[in-house]
Every structure is written in structure tokens, then in C-alpha cells.
Structure 1
């Protein structure tokens, strides 16, 4: 009976996502009753649009629309959207389903209510898009004048697979993928934290950054952060009361590196006093003095002088972007399994203002050593082959003996050390220029030898080689200096003082 009633409606009903021309209903046209539902369009994360097509005669249609559900075979007893938009009776109609759940499969059927009952179109299904991912942006730090590092975190994928994540950056605020096609990093395809490295930046430039993640629902962005790149390599000199306020004569300097934007270095002050940092060895360029408070720098012409409260060897770290600095007074020692105190206590070193280096003449056993400041590990150096890096590897001592250990931190980015035993060599010695006459170490960083010398020349050299040697006059000794002349043959006691940079021949 129901089928007979439905056929008597003589209506045709179709739903399609494709473009369909609108036609007015014509009560004079009678078609065999048919109903079909094929596609949806404009699918988003919480909505989808359905286009319907109805031709009817006879008793007509009192209501038309789309019913939908997360279960198959939806009916008008459940969720539905009634088409009421137009005032002119048309064959084509369009409804939008809203309030849908994201990333969820739905079933939908067009329907029409007539006096004879409810007609349903064929069932179709669609899946709403996922929400865009939830992303946060990590702090970015300029690592040099051309590089920076930071990252982000994808905390929620929005129920959609992550297809890309990274950061986009620009010299303009509010960077997006659309506007930063050549300034995007690719850092994986997963939920979780990630690290991003940016390169080929411009020096002294402010950049804006957003972390992002993309799924099929779109792209989510983290909040915007910014950073400013410094000059690629910065070198500063210290000029002050301790050296006569003469930038041209400045020996102590600080530098950053390509991977560390902080300008670092060590300066020895023989007494408490004032100073400034200068970007060149003159007062005609930029000078850095005291800012609004301790630890703040200023380049103003009337900026006050910086100062240290007491004599000592200070480590400086300068943030050129934020114009801040720290100064830590350091006393150095040697620690390790190769020392008498093992890893429990330091063997103190003595600073040589002449050589701008630290010395300790101590017995060592086969083992390992490191240099550290202030009996702690906050500041320490190590490394192989005479080269030091902050926090570097332990230094191996292969042969037991008494050595003069030297650490030189006077040249930023080129810190060095040596472990030496000293002797004399030359035409005035018994071994000539072929073999060293070994000297005896003393606890006060001196080495002595009593030897017969002939008229001739000699030099001090370390470890039976020429990599480290000293020469020159008693008041002007230097690394690699001139041969020392012996004008009268005799038995002499020769003393080399490494801390004071002198020697005696008595």
C-alpha cells in the first residue's frame, strides 16, 4: 500500500554536489517518482553543505531538506535541516549542516515530506575535516649574526595526521606559510616538541617567528615571537685605568663566535678601577659604558665608566642584543685523577701578568686533569691537543712527573694550555743543539739547572722540542725569542721564572 502511495506522488528528487541549474516546480509535469542522493560539498570541520533537486506534481511537497546521523540510514526522526531559504518554489535547494563534530563520519539523506509520506534519497557519507593542530612557539635565540635556534610544540593533532611542522619567519610581523614560502623550516610530522634552526639571516635585523603544523584540516600557528641578530662577529677591547685609558694599547679583548652570540673573554685587573669597552682601538668609534644600573650597558656619550671592585682575573659575558653584561672574578686551579687531590680538591694556579697566563708546577700521575674556576664546575675548561673549550673533555696525562702546567685564556676563541718540563739547549751547553740539559722544577713555578757552559748561545725549551721555547734578555724574555748569549765560559746556576717572565744566570 505504501509503495502505491509513493508512486502516486509522481515526484523526482535528487541531491548532488555538482553545479545544478535551478528550475521552478511545474505542477503540469508528471514524472515517475524517483529519489537519489549522490554527494556533499563544502565539507569543513564542523559543517557540510548538501544540494538537493526536486521535481514534483500532484499533491506537492510540504517540506524538504536533509537528515543526517553518525549511524547509517538517518531519518527525519533524528537530526535534520529544513530548507526554507527561498520564496520562489525551485527544484534545486541547498542546506548546510552545522554543529558537526570534527573528524567524524556522517551519513546523510535528502528527504521530502508529502501527504503520502516521506521520501528519502539514496544515502551518502562524508567525513568532516579535523581541527587544525594546536601549536606553541618556543623562544628563539640568535646564535650568531646569521643563525638562530628555537622550535615549538604540537600538543594536539586535531584528529588529523600531521603532514608538516616547523616554523615560518619574516622581517615583517605575523608570518604565515602563504607569505613566507622561502622562510620555512621542515621539522618532522608528529605531535610533540621540535627544534628548528634558521640560517642565512641578515645581521642586526629583527625577525618574527611562528611555529606551525599542518593536517588535512588546515594549518595551526603558535603565538608570534621575535629575536634580533647581532653583528656576526663582535670583538671588544677593554681600556681603563689599569692600562692608562689607551685603547690603542689594549691587549685584552672579548669575542663571540658563529654559534654563540654572547661576547666573552677574560681580563686581568691589577687593582680595583674603572674602564670601558670599545669596539675598536680608539675613542672615535662606539664605546660601551655604564647604563641605567649595574649589569646594563650604554653607548651614550655621557655613559658612566664600568668598574671592578678589586684586583683579579674577571670573566665577562656581554649580550649585545639586550645590552647587558656579567663579570665574575675567577681564581683557577687544576683538578683530576692525575693530581694529588684527585677529583676532590684543586691544585691552585698562579697568574702571570707578564705572560697573561696561569701556571702551576706540580707533580702529576698518569690520569686526567681539567681546569676549573673558584673550586667549582660552573666555569671549567678541557680539551685535547693543547686547545681548550668550555666544558671540554678531560686532559690525559700519560706519564707521571713534575710539570709546569700553563693555561692561557688571553685570546678569545683561542684558549690554550701546555703541560711542560723544561731544559736548556744550545752551542754553549754540553749537548750542543742536539740534546737538552734537563732543569729541575721548583714549587714556585721556577726551573733551575747548574751546568758548565762554554762561550756560545742557548735557549730554554719545553719537552725536548721547539713548539714551546723562550729566549731574549733577562728583562725581555719572550716565546720564540732570540738566543741567549754566553760570553764567558764557566759553571752557572740558571733559573727560569715562568710567572714573572725572567731568568737569571749566576
Structure 2
């Protein structure tokens, strides 16, 4: 009996020791010495300071990894955070690794970019340079929403002012420029960008900020595939925004309220609310042509994205408008769209907006940009019809029998 009792007591003692070890081993980092109300801080990078909603480390200030615009693949060393910042006030990037906290700040070459590439933001300032271990703080000159980005391999950092807009065939400016969303009241917890009564046609579009598509982080390698750039645009869908994602298709024309919202709690989200019908469009004087590298011209030379081919006004039958291109040699090595005129200021149409018809309809597919992509090299006759009354676009393609 005594032996059995001693054995049971010994087993209970071992159990409590093991439990204590497990609890100790599972403890998170704690940046607060008050054991009554510990603040749990997970390993990672944080944007914080008096310029932000929190001077201290907090879970909603944590940065996350994002896609490299080159190849649109996830990059584990590329971090980003959209965050509201107060003007002329300090903020830092702090790294937490176990019990160690490291403060990162701007290097000596960190400065405003005055000669951005054509794909980088044009409508608002951004700064770029080295990220170094220092107590020196970042500051911005104006209240607003900003995109903070850095890469741990190259230790390069970007801080960019965010002013949202929409661009694409479905929008008033086409692909020539963004239609701005008006910035609402500044707030450290949330901000909204919105426009009302925007005319949107059947077509595709994207959200992008400050009239840019991307920002270069490092492009020093001689192989462009090894460059690192961050997306400054969202595609995918309105409900699920994806950095640098596929074009978003607008399936119903009309007047819309377009809203981009940001909050510390939910990040960046978008909504489109249709508020009315557009008047019937008269396409009689609209000159459309083919544009892209997915076909040859009449001399057998591959066309390009530099100009329209076979520009013409339509034949008209009531509310039905038809454009035709015969004997077109399409190329599987490229893609194309239908576009108005010699620039992207007007209408443009791609695969997602049309109903495919004709004997060779199955020989085409779409890519992420919404282009027509031939699946094989062949000669075809193309007819593009718009029924303005029903708002339907029909792309009829038939193989030419030689």
C-alpha cells in the first residue's frame, strides 16, 4: 500500500513539472514587464511611432510579405504595410526576433524620387533608399495614407503616398490615365477614397495608386528576372483584391459609386455600387482597329502594341454596329485587343467582355490582361458587333479555308 501511494505521488509530481515546462516553452515574447497584463508581440516587422495609430508595437502594425511584381510571385523577403501617417512626426520599422528588438530607419541615401520610371507613381511623391539599423526616424511631409515597403535581401526601403484611382477600358479615361478617387477625411485608424456617378462601361479595370503600376526596389542585376519591384495596383476581383492581379471585369455598364477603403483592422478593401443606367451609346463615328502582337499585317509582318491596325468605322443597322477584318493571320506567340483610334483614351475590348462566336471561337482564350490569345497560328475572318440596345458585344471568328 505504501509503495503504491508513493508511486502515485511521484507520478503526480512528474506531471506538474512537465506541465510547467510546457507552459514556459510556449510563452510568446512580451514587451511589457507587467505580468498582470502582458502584451504579446510576435516575431516580425512592425511600423509604429507617434506618426501612426500606435507608438508601441501592436499586432495591427505588423507588416506582411507580398508579391514581387516581376513574375507576380510571392517573395518571402519583401514586406509591405499600408498605413496612415501624420505629417512631420516620427515613425520606425522595428524587428522582433525572440527577445531581441532591432530598430531600422532611413539610410543616408533615402530621398524623394524625382525621376521615376514611366510605370512608377507620377501623381504623388515617394521616397526610396537604404534601410539601416539606426535610431533615426522616418517622417512624411503631409498627412495621408502611405505604402511602406522594404526587402530584407537588398535592405532597400520605399515610402509612397497613396492616392487611389481606377484605370482601364471600363473607366472614363480608358487605359490612358487613372480616374481619381477623392480622398476623404484623414484618420489614423481608417481612410476612404471615393467617387460617385462614375460612368463605367462593359470592360476591364484595375485599382492603382498615384498613377503608377509598380515601384522598383532593386534592379541592379543584369538579368531582369532577378529584379525586385512592388505592385502599386490591385486586380483579381472587387471582393478579393490581389496585388498585381488579373484585370477586373465590369459585367454591367452604368453609373457607379466606387470606393477604396483602408483600415488598420481590415487593410484595403473595395466596393462598387451601381446607381443608374447609362444613356444609349451611338458608335457610328467610333473607329476601331486591332492592336497587339498576336497577328501579322497584310505584308506578313508581326504587328505590335504601338498602333492600330485596320482602323474603320462600323456599318450601322439600327442600334447594331459591326466592324470586320478579313484574312487576318493570328499568331499563338502573341495576343491582341480591339481598340479605338491610335491611343488608349477611348474604347478598348478584350476577351472577357465579348460573346465568342463562329467556327474558330474555341481557338482563342484570355490572358490576365483580358487579351484575345490565339491557341494556334491560322488565318481568320473577324467580325465585331455591338448591340447598343442590349449592351452585348459579339466577337465572331471563322477560319479561312485555303
Which category describes the TM-score, using the shorter chain as reference length? Answer: 0.3 to 0.5
Higher relative contact order (CA 8 A, sep 6+): 2
In proportion to residue count, which structure has more helix?
A: 2
TM-score of the two chains, using structure 1 as the length reference: 0.32
TM-score of the two chains, using structure 2 as the length reference: 0.40
Structure (1 or 2) with the larger CA radius of gyration: 1
